[in-house]
Amino acid sequence: MSLLIVGSTALDSIKTPNAENPRLLGGSASHAAVAASFFTPVNLVGIVGEDFPKKYVALYRKHGINLDGLQNVPGKTFHWSGEYEVNMNNRRTLATELGVFETFNPTLPEAYRRTPYVLLANIAPSLQHHVLDQMKKPKFVVADTMDLWLNIALQDLLKLLKRVDAFVLNDSEARQLTDQDNVMVALKQIHKMGPKYVIVKKGEHGAILSGPNGIFVAPAFPLEKVMDPTGAGDSFVGGMIGYIASQKGTVDSKIRRAMVHGSVVASFCCEGFGLQQTTRVTSAKIAQRVKTLEKLVRF
Amino acid sequence: MSLLIVGSTALDSIKTPNAENPRLLGGSASHAAVAASFFTPVNLVGIVGEDFPKKYVALYRKHGINLDGLQNVPGKTFHWSGEYEVNMNNRRTLATELGVFETFNPTLPEAYRRTPYVLLANIAPSLQHHVLDQMKKPKFVVADTMDLWLNIALQDLLKLLKRVDAFVLNDSEARQLTDQDNVMVALKQIHKMGPKYVIVKKGEHGAILSGPNGIFVAPAFPLEKVMDPTGAGDSFVGGMIGYIASQKGTVDSKIRRAMVHGSVVASFCCEGFGLQQTTRVTSAKIAQRVKTLEKLVRF
């Protein structure tokens, strides 16, 4: 079944100790949409400016992503630039130019409003609310976020948590949101804020799910070379919800395998700059890595 | 089959934000021996001074640990004191008083020399060598270490790596030893230094094994409350080698389950100060937690 994704559609300029890559296709919605596209049809909601390269539109289309909800307006596309340290764990934002994003008002095409699965990828909680307001009885809604919104839009985010089925955040955000250092305790507290499913992403250490069927400790796919982790979290959640949307059965029966598929797509994302590597992936390669991961954790 | 363990036998004074516990039974050999004792008979090699409390001797005995190799000499027992920060991840050594440890010369009782399994728990590499020199055809030798020895006894440690079957270290030590930030690359480099099995401990994130059968990503048992992580790494390696020594079959066929058993014993260790919680554990409780962990990682 189809999946609606709203989030940022951006140009990312990424520096690492070894390379500099200007104006790559980036943003939470771009990474999540490409990741999900391996599993299910995607309806994208976003905004870009006049400077948005045609090749990136072509890239979305190559992945079969529906762009009826991608606004193209006068002005500049959201541009983020950042720099990673040698160990790839610490990153520093060099510049954030919001451009057309500043006036983004995501009005959904009529045909989008009955999409059964919804991913509110990382974007201001007010916009996540606005998209949700327009949806007609979605089956399953996942929200992602980032530390910025905990700092400047906490009340909006807390209200959102009462409206979503699943909430995804990383470990430092979970600590910040709950003021709890222990992840297991943080998961319990976040449930009380609303979501039935809470997923804490731990980067190279995998992810932890807490849901009606208890805890699931999901592995990350171990990599020998991380080129650029930008978008890995978005790829994880996009791959995960894309897999859920593509499979029959209850969410409970498929969410664990969905997280593993998300982990695998995220691992490909880390192996190239921006979406370079993710866009080269095939369903067969994903299936192969899922199989490998199954062997890596079996005991 | 029986297991010889050499390492430190110490008194630990441990401060956390909520409590202060003076002169607990501690040291790498104490934690590893108690952990291993749930699976297999242990021959302990260590040294204590006149101040070593009788109740700790009784505790060893309660766990069926053979103390023929525990030297009791005039002077003071090795005493370590340290302090944990709120998040339990950062610890600060307040004092290290070597006492009788300074002159420790581990001469093995004759009956110990044919012990088939050997754990060289964390202690100076020169002493690990000295013990190994006295062993007669051990079946399987595991060595653990700490950052101190990388700093002050690297050449001894590198020589040791050529003599052991398995080497266990934590992630920051693996980075320091190889000057490689990526754990997967570090594992490969450490294999080149000698050991057939390399295990990198990652605390609450589990552990990674690299061996002839490839990579194994071992989970940690998720805990809601960590009282005191001191000795968790020693408990992990003690439980692991204890399980290996207790089971039939090749090392390859049992090392993954052995790591999971080690993880579980380490989780109990973290739930109390020093050995308080570990000594209360039963084989049934360990088996129960292993079962739970199997469910937590299944997908």
Minimal-distance CA residue of chain B relative to A261? B299
Q: Which member of A184, A219, A224 has the closest CB to residue B185? A: A224
Q: Which member of A184, A217, A295 has the closest CB to residue B297? A: A217
Which residue from B192, B295, B208 is spatially nearest to B256, judged by alpha carbons? B208
Minimal-distance CA residue of chain A relative to B255? A299
Contact B297 A216 (CB under 8 A): yes
Residue A50 CB contacts under 8 Å (≥ 6 apart), including other chains: A72, A73, A74, A75, A76
If interface means Cβ-Cβ distance under 8 Å, which residues of chain A face chain B? Answer: 86-88, 181-185, 188, 202, 204-206, 208, 214-219, 222-226, 256-257, 259-260, 294-299
The helix (run of H) or strand (run of E) holding residue B31 is helix B28-37
Contact A297 B219 (CB under 8 A): yes
Structure confidence at residue A99 as a pLDDT band (50, 70, 90): very high
Q: Is B190 helix (H, G, I), strand (E, B) or coil?
A: helix
Rounded distance, CA A13 to CA A10, Å? 10
Rounded distance, CA A288 to CA A251, Å? 23
Answer whether residue A100 shows pLDDT above 80.
yes
Length of chain B: 299
The single-letter DSSP state of residue B64 is T
Q: Is B129 helix (H, G, I), strand (E, B) or coil?
A: helix
In angstroms and rounded to an integer, the radius of gyration of the C-alpha atoms of chain B is 18
Q: Give the mutation candidate from B217, B251, B298 for the A interface (greatest A CB count, under 10 A).
A: B217
Digit-coded pLDDT (tens) for A155-185: 999 999 999 999 999 999 999 999 999 999 9
Which residue from A87, A98, A47, A39 is spatially nearest to A63, judged by alpha carbons? A39
Structure confidence at residue A84 as a pLDDT band (50, 70, 90): confident
B256 CA to chain A: closest CA distance, Å? Answer: 5
Contact B223 A184 (CB under 8 A): yes
Contact B217 A296 (CB under 8 A): yes
**B202 contacts in chain A (CB < 8 Å):** 205
Answer whether residue B141 shows pLDDT above 80.
yes
A227 CA to chain B: closest CA distance, Å? Answer: 12
May I ask the CATH architecture of the domain B3-297? 3-Layer(aba) Sandwich (3.40)
Count Cα neighbours of B108 within 13 Å in the Cβ-side half-sphere.
23
Contact B216 A182 (CB under 8 A): no
Contact B182 A218 (CB under 8 A): no
The single-letter DSSP state of residue B221 is P
Whole-number pLDDT of residue B182: 94
Digit-coded pLDDT (tens) for B222-248: 999 999 999 999 999 999 999 999 999
Rounded distance, CA A242 to CA A255, Å? 11
Structure token digits, residue B140: 């399987």
Rounded distance, CA B6 to CA B107, Å? 11
The single-letter DSSP state of residue B202 is -
- ipTM field: 0.93
Q: How far apart are the first and last CA of chain A?
A: 34
pTM of the model: 0.95
Length of chain A: 299
Sign of CA dihedral A91, A95, A100, A104: positive
Average pLDDT of the residues of chain B = 96
Measure Cα distances from A254 to A118, A234, B5, B163, B268 in Å. 16, 19, 45, 47, 31
Kindly give the pairing relationship between strand B42-48 and strand B66-72.
parallel
Residue B71 CB contacts under 8 Å (≥ 6 apart), including other chains: B46, B47, B48, B100, B104, B106
Whole-number pLDDT of residue B19: 85
**B189 contacts in chain A (CB < 8 Å):** none
Answer whether residue A16 shows pLDDT above 90.
no
Measure Cα distances from B148 to A215, B9, B113 in Å. 37, 17, 28
Contact A257 B298 (CB under 8 A): no
Average pLDDT of the residues of chain A = 96
Whole-number pLDDT of residue A195: 98
A4 CA to chain B: closest CA distance, Å? Answer: 26
Whole-number pLDDT of residue A85: 82
* Mean predicted confidence (pLDDT) in A117-133: 97
